Structure 1
Amino acid sequence: MPELLNIHHGFNFRDLGGYQTKAGQTVRYHKLIRSGRLSALSDRDQQYLADYGLRDDVDFRSPQEQSDQPDRVPDGVTYHFEPVFATDETKASIKAEELRRQALAKDPLGGFRNMVNTYADIVTLPSAQKAYRDFFDLLLANDGDDALLFHCTAGKDRTGMGAVYLLTALGVDPITIRRDYLASNLYLGEESERMVNEARKTGAGPAMIASTRSLGGVANEYLDSAFMTIDAQYGSLENYLTSALKITPAQRRDLRAIYLQ
C-alpha cells in the first residue's frame, strides 16, 4: 500500500506508484498523486511538491468548495478546475451546524444513504463524466517526467473514483484497486475524528454522529453502488471507460506507456 507523502498541512496525499498491473508492469513513482484539499498547504508543503515534480493540479471540487478554500500550489504548477458536481454531494465540506439542519442528521443511516446515492450520481451525471474525461485528457498530456495531482476535499470519493478509472485503464487488478480505495479510511482517521468531535460540540445526538462517520469515510457499499450503476447501464467498467468516458484502445496504450514501467 502506498505510503503518505510528507505533507504537514494536508491529508490523504499518496503516490500511486508501485502498484502492479495484471500484465506484470508497475505504476511509475513521481507521476500520479491523489490527495485531499490543497488549501492549507504551508510554504514547506508547496516546496515539497515542487521538489517532487508536480506540474499539474486537477481539482474535482464544486465551485463553492473551490471558492471557499482555493488551492495553494507552487509556482509553475498549472491548475485545472474540473468540478464533478455542481454542489458538494459528498458533503465532505459541510460544517456540523449546517449538517444539523438537514434530515440526514436525524437518521443514523442518513449519511450512509447519501453516500450510496452520491456514488450512483458520480457515474451518471454529465458533469461527472465530463470532469473525468477531461482528467484523462490531462493524463495523456503529462508525457514527460512531471507529476500530476488530482484531488477533491477529502480525497476519498471524487478522487477515489478518479483513481478507480485510472488504475483500471492502466490494467491494475480489481482487488488492488478496491484496496487503494478503502485505504482512505486509514489515512483519514484523524480528520474523520475531527469531524465527529466538531459534531459533538454542536450537541449532536447518536443519529448525527453515525451519519457524520458515514460521510467521513469510505465503504465497500459506496463503491459497489457505483459499480452496480455502471453494470446496469453499461454492462461493465471496461465498457464505461469506452462508452461514457470515451477512452479509446489507443489512448489506453498511451496511458500505459506514460505511467507504467
Structure 2
Amino acid sequence: MNQIRLEKAYNFRDIGGYETNEGLVVKKGLLFRSDELSKLSEADIETIRKLNIKTIIDYRSERERVNNEDKPIPGAKVIYLDPKADVAALASSDNKHLLEQRTDKITAKQAYDMMSSQNREFVLAPSAKASYAQMLQLVLDPANCGIVQHCRGGKDRTGYGIALILLLLGVDQKTVVEDYMLTNVCKHEKNTRSLAEAYEQTHNEDFVLALRYLKEAREEFLLGALDIINNSYGGIEQYAINELNFSRENIQTLKQIYLEEKI
C-alpha cells in the first residue's frame, strides 16, 4: 500500500505499483486518491506540494463543500465533478450530521441496501456517467498529472473512479477490489472511534451496524457495480466506449501515459 501519511487526511494513497495483465506496472507519482482535503495542516499541504500535484478532482457536492472547501495546494487546480451521489455523501458524514438527519432511524438492512444501490447508480445514472466521463478525459491529458481525486471519505465516489482507471489500464479485478478495501485499513482507527461514539450516544446496535455499512468499504458494494459493467455492458472497455465516450485509442493512450515496464 502506497499510503502518504498526513496529519489531517487519512486515506491519501498513490495508486501506482499495480501490475497489469500485460505484465506492465502502473507508474507511481502520477495518480492518487484521497479523502477530503479541507482539514489539512500546513505540514500536510507541504507534503502534498512535494508530490507535484497539478490537478485535484473533487467529487463532493456544492452542499458538502460549504464552509468545507479544500485547502489550496500550491500549483494545483481544482476541478469539481458531482456524480449526484447523495447516499455516498451521507455515508461519509460525521456522526453529528448523521444523527441530525435522524439516520439512527435507518436500519442496518436499509443502510446496506442503500449502499448497494448507490454503487450500482455509479454505473447507470446519467449524472454519474457524465462525471466519470469528464474524469477520464482529465486523466487522459498528461499535462494534468499528478492527479488526486477525492470525495469526502475517499471510499465510494473516489473508489469507483479509481476502479475505472485501474481496470482500463489492465489491472485485474481482484487487485482493484483489494485497492478499494484498503480504505478500511487507512481509516480503521477513525472508523473504530466513530462507531464507538455512535454506540455511546444511541445504545442502538442496529444503528451502529448501519453506520458500519455506511462508513466501511465492503467488497460486495463495488462488485455490484462491476458486475453490471461485466454482465450488462460486456466489460470495462465496452462500457467506457459506449457509455463514457472513451475510444479504443483513448485506452491505448491511457496505457502509454500510466504504464511502464516492470523492473
Percent identity over the alignment is 28
Q: Is the 8 A contact 1:103 1:110 kept in 2?
A: no
In structure 1, the residue corresponding to 2:86 is in which secondary structure? Answer: coil
State which drifts further: 55-64 or 199-208: 199-208
1:157 aligned onto 2:156: yes
When the two structures are superposed, what TM-score results if normalisation uses the length of structure 2? 0.91
Rounded to whole Å, the distance in 1 between the matches of 2:184 and 2:94 is 20
Equivalent pairs, count: 259
The aligned counterpart of 1:83 is 82
The aligned counterpart of 2:51 is 52
In structure 2, the residue corresponding to 1:172 is in which secondary structure? Answer: coil
The aligned counterpart of 1:140 is 140
The aligned counterpart of 1:187 is 186
1:132-169 Cα offsets, whole Å, 9 max, x none, are 1111111111347x411000111111111011100011
State which drifts further: 98-107 or 178-187: 98-107
Q: Is the 8 A contact 2:199 2:205 kept in 1?
A: no
Aligned residue type for 1:13: F
Rounded to whole Å, the distance in 2 between the matches of 1:117 and 1:229 is 12
The aligned counterpart of 2:221 is 222
The aligned counterpart of 1:110 is 110
Q: Is the 8 A contact 1:150 1:159 kept in 2?
A: yes
The aligned counterpart of 1:122 is 122
Query: Residue 75 and residue 88 in structure 1: after superposition, are their counterparts in 2 closer, same or farther (change >3 A)?
Result: farther
Q: Is the 8 A contact 2:83 2:122 kept in 1?
A: yes
Rounded to whole Å, the distance in 2 between the matches of 1:39 and 1:260 is 31
**Unmatched tracts of structure 2, length 5 or more:** none
The aligned counterpart of 2:258 is 259
Deviation at 1:106, TM superposition (A): 4.5
1:76-100 Cα offsets, whole Å, 9 max, x none, are 2100000111635452343435534
Rounded to whole Å, the distance in 1 between the matches of 2:7 and 2:190 is 13
Query: Residue 81 and residue 113 in structure 1: after superposition, are their counterparts in 2 closer, same or farther (change >3 A)?
Result: same
Q: Is the 8 A contact 1:27 1:260 kept in 2?
A: yes
1:111-147 Cα offsets, whole Å, 9 max, x none, are 2111101111111111111111111111111347x41
Give the aligned CA root-mean-square deviation in angstroms. Answer: 1.9
In structure 2, the residue corresponding to 1:19 is in which secondary structure? Answer: coil
Rounded to whole Å, the distance in 2 between the matches of 1:99 and 1:212 is 9
Rounded to whole Å, the distance in 1 between the matches of 2:213 and 2:59 is 21
Deviation at 1:35, TM superposition (A): 0.7
Deviation at 1:231, TM superposition (A): 4.1
Query: Residue 95 and residue 77 in structure 1: after superposition, are their counterparts in 2 closer, same or farther (change >3 A)?
Result: same
Rounded to whole Å, the distance in 2 between the matches of 1:69 and 1:204 is 30
Rounded to whole Å, the distance in 2 between the matches of 1:140 and 1:212 is 36
Aligned residue type for 1:121: E
The aligned counterpart of 2:64 is 65
Q: Is the 8 A contact 1:63 1:86 kept in 2?
A: no
Query: Residue 98 and residue 6 in structure 1: after superposition, are their counterparts in 2 closer, same or farther (change >3 A)?
Result: closer
1:159-186 Cα offsets, whole Å, 9 max, x none, are 1101110001111111111111111111
In structure 1, the residue corresponding to 2:155 is in which secondary structure? Answer: coil
In structure 2, the residue corresponding to 1:202 is in which secondary structure? Answer: helix
Deviation at 1:188, TM superposition (A): 1.5
State which drifts further: 90-99 or 118-127: 90-99
Q: Is the 8 A contact 2:92 2:214 kept in 1?
A: no
**Unmatched tracts of structure 1, length 5 or more:** none
Rounded to whole Å, the distance in 1 between the matches of 2:63 and 2:87 is 8
